[in-house]
């Protein structure tokens, strides 16, 4: 069967809407899905240009159809509506196709880097597993894939035909975008490229049956993050922030991004909320903790919990044995278990994603 990468390689010979940049790098690929031998591709364009860009659409369809293993290809031009429709919102079919076997997919995101998003993702994933769920984690952090380090994983995933077998640690399945790129090779990721790589990690991996797949998103709210939030069939998103005002401004942007694409925000986690001294156990509110709780209240999203800044959390995370599994009875593990419990309850209650409004021209 043909892969997303094969399709993108073939599309490299077709110029995108500006007539200069190859389609995969043009930023215009809005969606790609492959079902058996059928390829569905959508290209985002300015609706005014629908007629002029028909030859581009036809050329893209032709090159994909020519690929070995492709029985049929359907390429469509799409455009997000420029002016909001006055009609009341109606539930729509989800734009992104669900992944068979996976019940819920959640994103863990942060408005900026370095706030402890990956540490939080891994501990939440492990906490969900210890609450009895079958869990997977997908590290989509293009700027610094850290899952292998956090879970103490070594080696590459084995392939099973055209599928990749996820690695396993502490009972959860794990795959990282780090496996798809050469670390030595600098590369500029565009939103659609991230999406193509993530689609591959979502769909070409033998995840099996999962109650929840946790996606560790790239930090920030740019093009790559927006494309991901829009195209992965997310049941919800968790936003991680530190308590400083600046981080909270970024967290607010993150929440706005998910609101824009109608992904429900399951809540905010305040990481490095307060400092717990490893010697005397005393607590210091270094960054004037509590900002994220206030922000969550202001924005009307749930506040999931405060994770202290503590040596043990860092040491355990950085040595590949996160606190939730290495010190399950510690107060730090309890914080993550409590957060995971709230997430699990919300997902079980079935807060459904409402898909963004898309117009097919
Ligand atoms: N609550 C915490 N207490 C102590 N150290 C922490 C805590 N959370 C994260 N850290 C440490 O902070 C560093 C950055 O964390 P992490 O890699 O999870 O951040 P990130 O937001 O995913 O970063 P990036 O966006 O750059 O990938 C790591 O060394 C991690 O161990």
109, 115, 116: residue to mutate for ligand 1 pocket, most atoms within 8 A of CB: 116
**Which whole number is the average pLDDT over 195-206?**
88
Distance CA 41, CA 72 (A): 11
Q: Are 226 and 31 in contact (CB under 8 A)?
A: no
Q: How many other CB atoms are there within 10 angstroms of residue 76's CB atom?
A: 15
* Token pair of 178 as six digits: 């780090």
> How many Å lie between the centroid of ligand 1 and the Cα of residue 36?
40
pLDDT category, 356, cuts 50, 70, 90?
Answer: very low
CATH architecture of 102-348: 3-Layer(aba) Sandwich (3.40)
| Atom 3, ligand 1: residue with shortest CA distance | 309
> How many Å lie between the centroid of ligand 1 and the Cα of residue 345?
26
Please report, in range form, the residues annotated as the binding site for ATP.
111-118
What interface predicted TM-score (ipTM) does this complex get?
A: 0.96
Q: Which whole-number Å values give the CA distances from 241 to 81, 112, 114, 202, 289, in the listed order?
A: 32, 8, 10, 26, 11
pLDDT surpassing 50 at residue 213: yes
| Atom 30, ligand 1: residue with shortest CA distance | 314
Q: How many other CB atoms are there within 10 angstroms of residue 260's CB atom?
A: 13
Q: Are 242 and 117 in contact (CB under 8 A)?
A: no
More confident call, 289 vs 176:
176
Mean pLDDT for the chain overall: 85
| Atom 29, ligand 1: residue with shortest CA distance | 314
**Which whole number is the average pLDDT over 241-249?**
81
Q: Are 120 and 158 in contact (CB under 8 A)?
A: no
β-strand partners of 138: 175, 215
Q: What is the pLDDT of residue 2?
A: 86
* Token pair of 46 as six digits: 């300015």
Q: Are 211 and 103 in contact (CB under 8 A)?
A: yes
Q: Which residues contact 47 (CB under 8 A, 6 or more apart)?
A: 79, 82, 359, 361
Distance CA 63, CA 66 (A): 5
**Which whole number is the average pLDDT over 252-269?**
92
pLDDT category, 88, cuts 50, 70, 90?
Answer: very low
| Yes or no: domain 4-79 corresponds to CATH 3.40.50.970 | no
Q: Are 237 and 229 in contact (CB under 8 A)?
A: yes
Number of residues assigned to the chain: 361
Distance CA 317, CA 325 (A): 10
pLDDT surpassing 60 at residue 258: yes
220, 314, 335: residue to mutate for ligand 1 pocket, most atoms within 8 A of CB: 314
pLDDT category, 322, cuts 50, 70, 90?
Answer: very high
**Which whole number is the average pLDDT over 85-100?**
55
324-352 pLDDT, tens per residue?
999 999 999 999 999 999 999 999 987 44
Residue 271 Cα: closest atom of ligand 1: 1
**Which whole number is the average pLDDT over 119-132?**
97
> How many Å lie between the centroid of ligand 1 and the Cα of residue 117?
6
CB distance 306 to ligand 1 below 6 Å? no
> How many Å lie between the centroid of ligand 1 and the Cα of residue 87?
44
Q: Indicate where the chain has its CATH 3.40.50.300 domain(s).
A: 102-348
Of these ranges, 126-130, 186-190, 244-248, 297-301, the one predicted with the greatest mean pLDDT is 126-130
> How many Å lie between the centroid of ligand 1 and the Cα of residue 120?
8
pLDDT category, 185, cuts 50, 70, 90?
Answer: low
More confident call, 210 vs 223:
210
């Amino acid at each position: 069967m043909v892969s997303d990468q094969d399709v993108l390689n073939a599309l490299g010979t077709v110029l995108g809407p500006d007539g200069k940049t190859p389609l995969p790098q043009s930023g215009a690929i809005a969606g790609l899905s492959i079902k058996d031998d059928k390829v569905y591709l959508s290209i985002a364009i300015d609706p005014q240009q629908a007629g002029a860009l028909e030859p581009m659409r036809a050329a893209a369809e032709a090159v994909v159809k020519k690929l070995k293993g492709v029985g049929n290809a359907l390429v469509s031009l799409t455009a997000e509506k420029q002016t909001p429709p006055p009609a009341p919102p109606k539930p729509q079919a989800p734009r992104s196709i669900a992944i068979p076997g996976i019940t819920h997919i959640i994103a863990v995101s942060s408005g900026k880097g370095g706030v402890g998003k990956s540490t939080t993702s891994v501990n939440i994933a492990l906490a969900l597993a210890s609450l009895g769920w079958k869990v997977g984690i997908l590290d989509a952090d293009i700027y610094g894939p850290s899952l292998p380090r956090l879970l103490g994983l070594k080696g590459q995933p084995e392939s099973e035909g055209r599928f990749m077998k996820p690695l396993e640690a502490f009972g959860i399945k794990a795959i990282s975008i780090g496996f798809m790129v050469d670390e030595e090779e600098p590369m500029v990721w565009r939103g659609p490229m991230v999406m193509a790589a993530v689609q591959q990690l979502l769909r070409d991996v033998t995840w099996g049956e999962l109650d929840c797949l946790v996606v560790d998103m790239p930090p920030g709210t740019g093009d790559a993050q927006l494309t991901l939030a829009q195209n992965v069939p997310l049941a919800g998103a968790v936003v991680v922030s530190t308590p400083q005002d600046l981080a909270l401004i970024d967290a607010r942007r993150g929440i706005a991004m998910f609101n824009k694409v109608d992904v429900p925000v399951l809540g905010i986690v305040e990481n490095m909320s307060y400092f717990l001294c490893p010697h005397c156990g005393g607590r210091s509110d270094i960054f004037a903790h509590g900002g994220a709780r206030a922000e969550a209240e202001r924005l009307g999203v749930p506040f999931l919990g405060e994770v202290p800044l503590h040596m043990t959390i860092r040491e355990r995370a950085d040595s590949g044995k996160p606190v939730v599994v290495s010190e399950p009875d510690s107060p730090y593990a309890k914080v993550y278990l409590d957060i995971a419990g709230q997430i699990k309850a919300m997902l079980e209650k079935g807060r459904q994603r409402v898909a963004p409004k898309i117009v097919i021209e």
